[in-house]
Amino acid sequence: MAETRRIIRRRKKKKRKRRILSSIVVILFLSTVAYTTSQFIAGQDIGSESGGGFDKDEAEKTKEEFEERDQPENSEVKQKDEKVNVLLVGSDSRGEGDTARTDTIMVAQYDTGEGTVKLASFMRDLWVDIPEVGYNRINASYSEGGIALLTETIEKNFGLHIDDYAVVNFNGFKEIVDIIAPDGIEIDVEKQLYYQSSDADININPGVQKLNGEELLGYARFRNDAKGDFNRVLRQQKVISALKEELVSMTSVTKLPKTVGALTQYVNTSMSTNELVLNYGRKFLLDTPENIETTRIPADDEWWPMTTSAGAEVLGHNEKQTRETVQEFFNSEQDSSQTAENTNTEEPS
């Protein structure tokens, strides 16, 4: 009898332990859900409070126009299923009724199979054939017809299929940076950057330092030196690489829900929250690329200064050669040794 009672007591202890363990797991799970939800909502509230988010109706209209755009019937635009090409645009739209403009046009390719990322920056003054408009600067396609026309222009001129897009306004960029890195993003500022106007107030000292969202935006947008947009492209790519490093750090992973919440307010994108978090985001965090391979379009030795009949200074180029350069960059295997630091740096003449 005594032995039977001991066996019964041991069984009861094991059951209590299992119940306690199960309760702990449930509490941790619910706490995680509650934290994630609260942080996601907090991120959304940031956009609502600042008034700098995208209009939801306008965002839905943009997505419909993107999906219904005219696409060239050309086999070379097709990519492998694992490769996702995302058009990234920085917009300086200042409010309702204001014509949206952009000085940041990039295409990022994420190879979900290989876990690699490529990033091409398109110079805003590149002279291209805009569908239904004619020849103009590439950034004019965004002013004329938004994301849909810019996408058509890239697909027509460079044979590069665009799967998704993401447009971030400048207020959103500052807020997202401050969420990801409250103490700032570390950047080695190459020289004194100073520019003041009614639209910008940039004054950044040289040297390694941490820049907050507003300072990082000023760093990325600065173009008032001898190399103008050429150096701005390099700085923008440098910022993207620094943000990537910060985003995959352990401290930033805990801020991911709040960051995604802010993204839903500040980023006008064709991608759903599930795609951002459960698909691309999860794969990116679990298999983070060591480097981001970068390039600039047009490449060195493939452009020349050109003045249009209207007197505008633009970047002329050999269209066939530029198209081949874009195709080769996105379709070739990534060279892991190439990073933002060795991207084209030719000074305009």
In a domain, 19, yes or no: no
Residue 64's CATH number: 3.40.630.190
In a domain, 304, yes or no: yes
Range of the domain at 230: 40-342
- pLDDT of 66: 93
User: Using CA atoms, how far apart are residues 169 and 151, in angstroms rounded to an integer?
Assistant: 18
User: Using CA atoms, how far apart are residues 195 and 210, in angstroms rounded to an integer?
Assistant: 19
User: Using CA atoms, how far apart are residues 219 and 222, in angstroms rounded to an integer?
Assistant: 6
Tokens of 312: 């505008």
- Taking the chain (349 residues) in consecutive chunks of 10 residues, what is each chunk's mean pLDDT? 62 64 54 44 53 74 90 58 88 62 89 87 96 95 95 96 89 84 93 87 95 94 87 93 80 65 78 66 64 91 92 95 96 55 42
In a domain, 10, yes or no: no
In a domain, 349, yes or no: no
- pLDDT of 65: 92
In a domain, 11, yes or no: no
What is the tally of structural domains in the chain? 1
In a domain, 92, yes or no: yes
In a domain, 145, yes or no: yes
Phi, psi for 225 (deg, rounded to 5): -140, -175
In a domain, 80, yes or no: yes
Tokens of 144: 């004329």
In Å, how far are 188, 215, 254, 349 from 204, measured between CA atoms? 11, 7, 30, 26
- pLDDT of 128: 97
Which stretches does DSSP call E strand in the chain? 83-91, 102-111, 116-122, 127-130, 134-137, 164-169, 185-189, 193-196, 201-204, 207-211, 267-269, 292-297, 303-307, 313-317
